[in-house]
Every structure is written in structure tokens, then in C-alpha cells.
Chains A and B, each alone.
Chain A
């Protein structure tokens, strides 16, 4: 194991006085270890750290030593971050298994068993290769970080071409507008102030003055609006129905006369 050798120079000083031990009241934040453990990318990363730190030959790993150190780390981790520890615990089990297989006597003379560490070592080297490659890749110049792409401005000018319009087109369009507007015209229906009863009275009065009157004399079709004509006609029908007047016509398409009914 690498040991830190304190020389005269490396003794920390505060106000010129040597510090032999850490002050009793030194504050260590409770998350300190968590941050530290998070900096490993997994059990393989932690193992590689331990191997490299201790200058172990990866092809001849002292399993007992490494397993012990590894489990020490994981124990600390378990206290702080349980869910993080699952992958790490699996590795603990694997390390112990490898160590115990190494302790077992070789089964027979024929066929020397493979080194139980081989599988783990292969994994470790493969991971370290990629870990190393990732560091190299991260240091490579990248667009947006170290590589700046040149781009000069290029204004895309698009000429607008207008369609031709003749006066006929305009007229045609206007006609269409009118046509469409007609579809949306509204019919206002207001309650008519005309009363059939009133007209019945008017007709009777007229017939009282002159006993016989021609049908068309009741209608002033040039002056009267259509509703009034209709009401007048309805009044005539109503009077006839009630037997108050009589309608006579000598022959078809001759004049129609109205006269008071016989009471």
C-alpha cells in the first residue's frame, strides 16, 4: 500500500505553528462521503481505483487484500446510500467467491483449472480501456467547445412576382361578392297591424252604401301593399263563410259581384 510519508515540509501550519492532529471540532459535512462515493462510476471503477492506488499487478491480484479494501468502501456506502449499493454488493459477493475458489484445492491432477480471477480481470481491463478512451474522447476538440465553424452571412433575396389582374377579373369578383351576399340576406318578418275583422267591417259598410259592388273595387292593387290585399281577400272569404255577403258570377271569367247576404 502506498503510504504517505510526512516530511518536515509537509506538516501543515496555522499561524506559523505546526499542527500535529486535526482539531477536535473540525466540521465534516455529513454528505462528504456520499459525494466521494458518487465519483465512482460503479464497482468496476472502484476496483480499478483500488488496484491502481495500491500499484497492484492487474494480472496477479492479491484477492484477500483487494476484497477487504473493497468491502470497507462498500460498508461505508451502505450506510449512506442504500440503492446505490446494490451493484456494489453483487461485486462483493463475486470477489468473495473468487477468493474462496482460490483457496479450494485443485480438483484433480489432470486439467489445471483456470485462474478464477481471469474473468474478473478481463472485465476490469475491458472497463478500464473504455474509461481511458472516454477521458481521451472528452479531451478531443469538439464543435461548439474547441472547434468553431466559419459561416459567412448569405442573404437570400427572393423577388416577389405579382399576378396580373384585369378590370374584368375585378368585375367578376365583385359580382361573386354580391351573389354570395344575397345568400345571407335576412327576411325581416314583422307582425302585421292589419286585422281581418277591421276589413270585414269596411267591406260591409261599403256594401251597405251600395248594395252591389264589383269584386275588383275592393282591391286597389296599385296602392295597397300585398299584405293588405291578402287581408282584404281573407275578410271577403270570412264574410262569405258567415253568410253575411254573397258572391255572384254570371259566367266563368266574367266580372264577380259582391252583395249583402239575405238576413
Chain B
């Protein structure tokens, strides 16, 4: 076995036995002598190819690489463990999407968009799940906390970055921009 094949096997077994996604930085720690990040990246691509025809695939998410079961098998696997993660209420999902798409936001921002006062339990559920955290304070009176989504949120939704979030409803965004155009037109008429 060549040196490079050995490296590949070490990477593979590390990824298979880890409970967390492993970043390239994590993977370099496997080797005593400095291993090139580009070499690791190349080997990861090879591993990805090796597993292509298997039931498990190597996937890149926000905080690194992980092996996960292919979607075709979820249906079967779920029969083994019927207690799935809980479904969140509409309120929780709405708050999550406001934080995800409009971050960083304050509590007041969330309340303004939803038009109702925010139950603190709703935010707490998201913080406990480690999907949302406080990233600072807004420099306005009262210094309210600014909320944003975490890497863990991206991992759990199998996203590499926020830019991979599903696009917002295009007809609605168009309506919103039409509204702004209307305002502008009025301004033009005024002048």
C-alpha cells in the first residue's frame, strides 16, 4: 500500500467514526507530519467518489465533512427508531426563518415582522437546539441582543452556508419591489 493510500484510509476511518462533521483543519491533526490541505481536499474528493455507489455518502456541510445515509434509505431507517426529532410549531419555524434570512435581528425586529409579541419560550427552544445564538448587542438604547443562526443550524439542514438557503418566494419579492417602485414613481411625479 502506498503512502497516499494509507492517508486516504486514515481520513476515511476518521470520518466514519466521528460523531461530528470534521473540517480540513480537524483532519490535518490526524497526521504528525504536516499534510498539505490541498492533498486532504483531493483525497476527500476521491473518498466521495469511492462511496458514490454505496448506501452512505460523504457530504460537506458548514463545519466540515460527514458521512450520512443516502436519502433513499431514510424511510426504512426511520422504522427502526420511530421517535423522530420533534416538529416545531409554526411560531418557532417562523422565528427561525426570520433569523435565518434577516440576521442579525433583535427581538423587536422579529416582533415587527410577525406583528405579534414574541413568546420567550419560542426563542429559547431555538437556542437550546443550538440553531440560534446571541452574536452581540445592537448599539441602540437598551442594547438589545442580536440573534443569528449557528453553524450547527447549517449542519442540521445540510447546508454549507447561508447562501444555500432556499430562495424566498419570487412572486412575493416581486410584489415587494413593485411596491417600492410605486413609491418611487410617486416621488418622481412629485418632482
Contact = CB atoms under 8 A, between A and B. Distances in A.
Interface in B3-56: 13, 16-19, 56
Interface in B35-81: 56, 66-69, 71, 73-74, 77
B121 to A, nearest CB: 15
Given A133-B168, A138-B93, A145-B85, A125 B98 contact: no
B179 A127 contact: no
B162 to A, nearest CB: 12
Interface in B158-177: 158, 165-166, 168-169, 172-173, 175-176
Interface residues of B, number: 52
A125 B115 contact: no
Interface of B: 13, 16-19, 56, 66-69, 71, 73-74, 77, 84-85, 87-88, 90-91, 93-94, 96-98, 100-102, 113-117, 155-158, 165-166, 168-169, 172-173, 175-176, 178-179, 182-183, 186, 189-190
B169 A132 contact: yes
Contact of A147 (B74, B88, B175): B74
A118 interface: yes
Contacts of B116: 41-44, 87
Nearest to B14: A154
B114 A130 contact: yes
A129 B157 contact: no
Give the most central of B16, B73, B115, B176: most A CB within 10 Å: B115
Nearest to B169: A132
Interface of A: 41-45, 58-59, 87, 91, 111-112, 114-115, 118, 121-123, 125-138, 140-154
Given A112-B189, A152-B17, A137 B74 contact: no
Contacts, number: 144
Give the most central of A87, A114, A133, A151: most B CB within 10 Å: A133
Give the most central of B56, B155, B156, B190: most A CB within 10 Å: B156
Contact of A118 (B69, B74, B100, B183): B183
A145 B84 CA distance: 6
Given A134-B90, A134-B96, A149-B68, A87 B117 contact: yes
A143 B155 contact: yes
A130 B115 contact: no
Closest 7 CB pairs of A and B: A42-B116, A144-B85, A154-B17, A44-B115, A150-B67, A134-B93, A133-B97
Contacts of A140: 157, 166
Contacts of A126: 113, 176
Nearest to A125: B176
Nearest to A135: B93
A148 B85 contact: no
Give the most central of B155, B172, B183: most A CB within 10 Å: B172
Contacts of A138: 87-88, 93
A149 B117 CA distance: 37
Given A140-B157, A141-B158, A150-B69, A127 B183 contact: no
Contacts of B94: 41, 130-131, 134
Contact of B71 (A141, A144, A153): A141
A42 B183 contact: no
A137 B179 contact: no
Contacts of A122: 176, 179
Contacts of B77: 148
